């Protein structure tokens, strides 16, 4: 089999790529990486010196592709399926990439800031940074709620890379800071995402690892 995905089932950015793979039933070998294992971490660093997953290895083309957005576009170009993640129209493609970056940078990263703060040792927390992250999420919730009011998916009626990015970002964001009753359109969009078979499969496969997710200190 040509494709191997180096990943962890709890990683939100790995979810993004898994959704794309499952959308098109793309054949690949899943290789779970335990960053706490020195040998496995060293092997990942050899593939991608930054040491972050997901990383896709394509033996047929002798290429190593890091970064979730780049991997999805690579799959779209070289292993296309029934779901095309980047629209053929240039203007729509730009909008899809913009929304992909929006979810990664303005929903995903603030969520990770909140989660990461829970992992800090006592006395090392960053309450100001967490407050800023929560404010960013609240602002983004409102933007998304307005945007999806008349849309099925992030780009309209067609599932795209934007939805691959939105799904894990919103799943974990809703865990650390629920959407609230005021964001009914966002909640409905999220419900559509979680009902989609690709994301439902990703969530099911991650369930055994949810115990590792850091809970808020009481």
Burial zone of 104 (CB within 10 Å; 0-12 exposed, 13-18 middle, 19+ buried)? buried
Tens-digit pLDDT profile for residues 8-20: 999 999 999 999 9
State whether 59 and 108 are in the same domain: no
What size, in residues, is the chain? 218
Range(s) of the domain holding residue 44: 3-78
- Which CATH number belongs to the domain containing residue 47 in this structure? 3.40.30.10
- Which CATH number belongs to the domain containing residue 165 in this structure? 1.20.1050.10
**CA-based torsion, 41, 45, 49, 52: positive or negative:** negative
Domains identified in the chain, total number: 2
Dist CA 86 CA 118 (whole Å): 35
Confidence of residue 120 (pLDDT cuts 50, 70, 90): confident
H or E segment and range at residue 181: none
Residue 1's pLDDT is 62
What pTM did the predictor assign? Answer: 0.94
**pLDDT at residue 53 tops 70:** yes
């Amino acid at each position: 089999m040509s494709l191997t995905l180096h990943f962890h089932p709890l990683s939100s950015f790995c979810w993004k790529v898994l959704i794309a793979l499952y959308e098109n039933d793309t054949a690949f070998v899943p290789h779970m990486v335990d960053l706490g294992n020195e040998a496995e971490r060293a092997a990942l660093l050899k593939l991608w010196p930054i040491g972050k997953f997901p990383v896709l290895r394509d033996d047929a083309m002798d290429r190593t592709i890091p970064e979730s957005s780049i991997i999805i576009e690579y799959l779209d170009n070289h292993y296309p399926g029934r779901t095309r993640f980047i629209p053929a129209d240039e203007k729509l493609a730009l909008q899809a990439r913009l929304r992909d970056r929006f979810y990664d940078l303005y929903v995903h990263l603030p969520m990770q800031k909140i989660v990461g703060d829970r992992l800090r040792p006592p006395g090392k927390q960053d309450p100001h940074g967490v407050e800023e992250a929560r404010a960013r999420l609240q602002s983004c919730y409102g933007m998304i709620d307005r945007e999806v009011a008349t849309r099925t998916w992030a780009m309209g009626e067609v599932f795209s890379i934007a939805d691959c990015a939105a799904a894990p970002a919103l799943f974990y964001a809703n865990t650390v800071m629920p959407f609230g009753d005021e964001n009914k359109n966002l909640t409905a969009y999220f419900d559509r995402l979680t009902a989609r078979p690709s994301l439902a499969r990703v969530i099911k496969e991650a369930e055994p690892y949810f115990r590792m997710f850091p809970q808020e200190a009481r």
